[in-house]
A and B are shown apart, each in its own frame.
Chain A
Amino acid sequence: MSAGNILVWIVWFAAAVGCIGSALAVVAFRNALFSALALIGNLISLAVFYLLLSAEFVAAAQVLIYAGAVMVMFLFVIAYVGWDKDIAWTGGPSWQTLGGVVAAAALLTELLVVIALGASNELAHSNHVSADFGSPASIGRLFMSNHLLAFEVISVVLLVAAIGGVILGAQKRRDRKGVKR
């Protein structure tokens, strides 16, 4: 193994530990504030994976939009709702908890078996990519040509979600006589 290869393995391993550890922390913390902070760590370690997979633009968007904007909104709402409330960690009868863990473990085992079966065949080699693979210019060109419809639909989805958020969050105003406006 060359030195560069070993370096990439080390970076991959560090990102994997951070990624899975922070994912477990998101689920395990009782306090929603700590869960949200752990999710920021998870998003950043995923961005490291994206960089290793030469997806530079997606990694930058992940850190800026997800770990930046979306998570700040999350933290605002957690602060608004109050993060010190004592909400039970899990609910329902114990067979529900057990069933959830078994279902998730079964899915993970299934996925890992399928990946391990393909690891020496189809997944063993990957195509060579040019230097501008994953650059903002190439992704932008693709968004404006082949995937223009998807781009426009995404913008409509975001607009509808913004309007829905305003409607859900808006208080019904009442004037002095107590009549709903």
Chain B
Amino acid sequence: MLGPGIAWYLAAGSAVFAIGMAGVMLRRNPLIMLLSLELMLNGANLVLIAFARRHGSLDGQVFALAVMAVAAAEVVVGLGLVVAMARRKIEIDADLLSRLRK
């Protein structure tokens, strides 16, 4: 395999995952929390694909595609929630959304 070894890809994936995790915990705009969640999923995807290459087996890539589909589903539900908040004139702020019924 030319270029950097698998460990370098794993390190990059871990960095993206940790940055996304910090974003989910720090930010209070739900849209940016969703974007940070996407970062976490993509960091995990990179690790999956790196290990698929390491073992020479395509199962990791199939799993990465499944993660992509689940991420799309999660985005639909998350954005639906944000749109519902905007419709009901609730402020778009995760800390103010402490009650589910309103």
Contacts and interface: CB of A to CB of B under 8 A. Distances in A.
A73 B75 contact: yes
A95 interface: no
B2 to A, nearest CB: 4
Interface in A1-28: 2, 4-5, 7-9, 11-12, 16, 19-20, 23-24, 26-27
Nearest to A28: B23
B9 A19 contact: no
Contacts, number: 254
Nearest to A39: B35
B interface SS class: helix
Contact of B61 (A57, A87, A118): A57
Contact of A108 (B18, B38, B53): B18
B7 A8 contact: no
Given A49-B9, A126-B6, A129-B53, A32 B69 contact: no
Given A46-B45, A165-B76, 14 more contacts: A20-B15, A27-B20, A32-B31, A39-B35, A50-B49, A73-B76, A77-B82, A85-B92, A105-B18, A115-B11, A115-B14, A142-B58, A161-B73, A169-B80
A90 B19 contact: no
A105 B21 CA distance: 10
Interface residues of A, number: 94
A103 B6 contact: no
A164 B80 contact: yes
A157 B5 CA distance: 35
B80 A165 contact: yes
Contact of A90 (B10, B28, B74): B28
Contact of B5 (A105, A123, A162, A168): A123
Interface in A33-81: 35-36, 39, 42-43, 46, 49-50, 52-55, 57-58, 61-62, 65-66, 69-70, 73-74, 77-78, 80-81
Interface in B48-102: 49-50, 52-56, 58-59, 61-62, 64-66, 68-77, 79-84, 86-87, 92-95
B35 A36 contact: yes
Contacts of A97: 26
A138 B70 contact: no
Contact of A165 (B19, B56, B77): B77
